[in-house]
Amino acid sequence: MQKHLICLDLDGTLLTDEKKISPYTKKVLLELKALGHEYIISTGRPYRSSQAYYTELEMTTPVVNFNGAFIHHPGDLYFKTVHEELDLEVANAIVERVPDLNIKNIIAEVKDNVYIHYHDPVLFDAFSMGNPQVKVGNLVQNIEAGPTSILIQADEPEVPGIRKALDDLFAETVEHRRWGAPYPVIEIVKKGINKAVGVDYVRGYLGIDQNHIIAFGDEDNDTEMIKYAAHGVAMGNAIEEVKDAAGHVTLTNNNDGIGKFLNDFFDLNL
């Protein structure tokens, strides 16, 4: 069988609700790696909070972080890293306009530096994974370079209105996607950036045809990747939009959806 590239979203997809990789799914993935297939992490998370899973799965591939805004290879110094930053003026304009839309907080990430607009001990702890530099205070005053991403935290009923406002104000300069875990947020990245763009870049590096890509996801930020892959697979717990975009629907993240699908797809009999 031709070498395949398996693209793994983390939260709600590869990870159970306890943020762990199930033993069965891990066994299936390691078996596929031994057979010569490749798999990558493609997530809205930064690398620092996906590194533990990268190590656990014995990965030797590039990583797609920040929904495609940051792509690097932890083990290849010659890999051409991609870092697509938001324009600093655009970022400042977002920070100045968004608080009028009944948000709870704004977080900016510049690679592994985290800037939190309003003091929140819970968010501080959540974004401290991997020991980044975390600074709290007015983002316009604190961020000095274009951020990799901006996260807007808001109550669920406010999310549609905030996304419409972002379209009205910044449609020509930014992309925004919703992801539901570990915190329901709207993530904003540079225009034209999404997971599919990141996966395509990695596919080219690995020399794997698009027809041999399998991608798993559950949330809005997985939609482009699911559509791009020859075999787009929605988790059983995925939102309806992702299920509609996918060619397949598997079991949930808590029921070995990835492992069971891959076992059947590759006829592993595990």
> Mind telling me the catalytic residues?
9
238-260: b (≥16 Cβ within 10 Å) or e = bbeebbebbeeebebbebbbbbb
Which residues contact residue 113 at a Cβ distance below 8 angstroms, ignoring those fewer than 6 apart? 132, 133, 134, 135
Backbone angles phi, psi at 40, to 5 degrees: -135, 160
236 with 258: CB under 8 angstroms? no
Helix residue spans in the chain (DSSP H): 23-34, 51-56, 88-97, 121-126, 139-142, 159-170, 195-206, 223-228, 240-245, 257-265
Element (H, E) at 252: none
Which residues contact residue 185 at a Cβ distance below 8 angstroms, ignoring those fewer than 6 apart? 107, 151, 152, 153, 154, 178, 179
